[in-house]
Amino acid sequence: MVDFHCTLHRLGNRYPALLALLIQLFVTLCLGVTIVAAVHLSSWRPSPLPAGLLHGLLAAGLARWLGLSRWWWWLNLLFVPGLLLASGAPLPSWLFLLGFLLVLLLNWNSFGERVPLYLTGAGSRRELARLLEERGERFAFVDLGCGPAGTLLWLARRFPHAQFTGVETAPLSYAIARLRSVAQRNCRIRYQNLWRSDLAAIDVAYCFLSPAPMPALWDKARAELPPGAWLISNTFEIPGVPPQRLVALKDWRDSRLLLWEIG
């Protein structure tokens, strides 16, 4: 049982979207079998919405037990109840397809790069800005997986003499980030895989990824970042490599900023 749990935990680290889907299918199967058996053995007839809420609670509990992030807890909790509520509303069928496509385009990285969409909170931004003040007015900063670029643009406005770059491969996130950054002269967005990004001229590389790519990212940072440059990770550690500095943010998801100085 322990080995099976560890296997699923590793699957969640590598492919969180796949594990979330498997959880939905498993809970649906178990709950369906239970309901069919109860209906045949008693006069009890379950109502759809309470059954959907139970489904969501079980799926969210499994997601937490298997180590998925809070984003996936909420998605597993609300998915089936949301479908049941929407099914009774006069909504066109194409709306569900549109919703699915939007989620897919925002979380495209979950499948290939094993990086779901994580948004940096306001507290993280403020602490990140405090760290960047130590670099002076002029530095080159890259956000490896910038999403819709909220944090990147906030920092670019705060440090007008620094240069900010965001790289992103989720199509919808990239399009939003590109449009938002048009008027910000010291910020540019690239549709680029983070592994193809050249870090040789970067002073600070920031990321909010997932546990899966961190060892490879450390190898890339050591090979490409110049001496004295920083690698800053939001929440996720590099296995076996303690950070030089750690800032606890004390928010609802227990975020931390971990900083490694190259060389």
- Extents of the domains making up the chain: 2-91, 122-261
CATH number of 122-261: 3.40.50.150
Which is higher by pLDDT, 2 or 129? 129
For residue 80, report the phi and psi dihedrals to the nearest 5 degrees.
-70, -45
Which is higher by pLDDT, 80 or 9? 80
Q: Is 150 exposed, middle or buried (0-12, 13-18, 19+ CB in 10 A)?
A: middle
Query: Is this structure's pTM higher than 0.85?
Result: no
Which residues partner with 110 through β-bridges?
Answer: none
Residue with tokens 């059954």: 51
pLDDT at 119 over 80: no
Which residues partner with 144 through β-bridges?
Answer: 167, 207
Share in percent of the chain as helix, strand, coil (round to 5): 55, 15, 35
Give the pLDDT of residue 211: 83
Which is higher by pLDDT, 101 or 154? 154
How confident is residue 111, by pLDDT bands cut at 50, 70 and 90? very low
Structural element, H or E, at residue 6: helix 2-14
| Strand order across the beta sheet in which 187-191 lies | 187-191, 163-168, 140-144, 204-207, 230-234, 256-261, 245-248
Which is higher by pLDDT, 206 or 42? 206
Exposure on the CB side of residue 106, measured as CA atoms within 13 A: 13
